[in-house]
Amino acid sequence: SLVKVDVYIYIDALEFIADNRNRLDVLNSLLMRINELENVYFLCSCRSTDLGSFIRIIGKYNIIEYNIKPISEDVLIGISKNIMVLKQIIKNSQYNSLLATPFYINFLAKLVDFSSIQDENQLRRKIWEEIICLNDSTIKPIIERIVLERATKFTLYSDVSKYDKTIIDNLLSNEVLIKNDDGIRLKYDIFEDICFEQYIDSLFDESKSDYSLFFKKLEKVGRCIYRRYQIWIENKLFSKTNRQKFLYTLVFTDSIPSTWKQQSIIGIIKSNYCQDFFGEYSRQIVNNNLLVKFVDIVNIYGFEINDISFKIGTFILKNKGFGRESLIKIIYEQEIYKTNFENDSSIKKLIYDYTNSI
């Protein structure tokens, strides 16, 4: 070590390298070197849903974990004493999932009329239009360019000199962007999530059922788009009026590239809105011999991290979405368990994970 003072290295949003093997190797090398130095400390932030990608690396070191839990009902009641509009919102159960997130509470508290917001997707759309784009259509392409450049190049910031100074100053003053020297980025990670949702939405609508073109445009973004696409399938697709043909083409034809078909099914089984899909297409799934594929994908991907222990290198999982429950319903209603199922061990795992909440 060349210096005697304490040195702190901080990496924000570690999840963005979760599927990049080269960068995971770099992270491991960095932690190995830091571990040799008494005065150097490593800090990072990472979404709990992606922590599993780092368990083998971080589990080697003496890492102390700090979890940010969802806001409890008691805390929420305390907050509502100072924010009157929250008292009205709390009475409506449809906002329960939104009120567990500080960011959403901050936004809901600013609304005069929140009656038009029925679910999280509608709220995120409102955030996109009013908070991020400031109800200005000229801002949308600039926001998309900033977000896509950071994602494709894996950079912390985008060069501010590339953009109109008046618009950038407006976005900075409204706390949509933050600036560091000559670089800019969106202030919150959740802003970037919402931007990707709207971007994929636009590509989907513009494709006009030309799904080959849709996926070619997505691929231009790079590998980072896969996780964003899964999230879009989970949260957005099932609310779109023109989803039926797309879903059928995805699952029951060979016209979609196999990589995207796999990513699509992962998104479907992890969705909280997929029950209608499985209800409508249960017969086709069985008749097209796709049940095994769906069950195997659920058994691998149909979970999220509930708790994690870096000390012993393990994490506890829980069910993610309604894919597992929907497949068990198909197996029961069509009495698949009475037939010579191709892989009955997969069904046993499916049921075991469900009954034990993984």
Instruction: Give the pLDDT band (50/70/90) at residue 199.
Output: very high
Q: Range with the lowest mean pLDDT among 23-32, 72-81, 113-122, 147-156?
A: 113-122
The per-residue pLDDT for 215 is 93
Distance CA 150, CA 128 (A): 18
Confidence of residue 285 (pLDDT cuts 50, 70, 90): very high
Taking phi first (over 0 means left), then psi (-120 to 50 degrees means alpha), and beta for anything else, what does residue 157 get?
beta
Per-residue pLDDT at 353 exceeds 80:
yes
Q: Which residues pair with 9 in a beta bridge?
A: 42
Position 315 pLDDT exceeds 80: no
Q: Which residues contact 72 (CB under 8 A, 6 or more apart)?
A: none
Using the CB atoms, write b or e for 291-328: b if 16+ within 10 Å.
beebbebbbebbbbbeebebeeeebebebbbbbbbbbb
Residue 242, number of CB atoms within 10 A of its CB: 11
Residue 253 pLDDT greater than 80, yes or no: yes
Closest CA to 326 of 258, 269, 242, 245: 269
Q: How confident is the model at residue 309 (pLDDT cuts 50, 70, 90)?
A: low
Q: Give the residue, 244 or 136, on which the prediction is more confident.
A: 136
Q: Is the pLDDT of residue 242 over 70?
A: no
The answer on pLDDT for 283 being more than 90 is yes
pLDDT score for 10: 92
Cβ atoms of 298 and 320 closer than 8 Å = no
The answer to whether residues 349 and 298 touch, using CB atoms and an 8 Å cutoff, is: no
In angstroms, the CA 277 to CA 213 distance is: 24
For the chain, percent of residues with pLDDT exceeding 90: 34
| Rounded alpha-carbon distances, angstroms, from residue 343 to 17, 302, 328, 340 | 34, 18, 14, 8
Question: What number is the average pLDDT over the span 275-283?
Answer: 90
Amino acid, res. 110: K
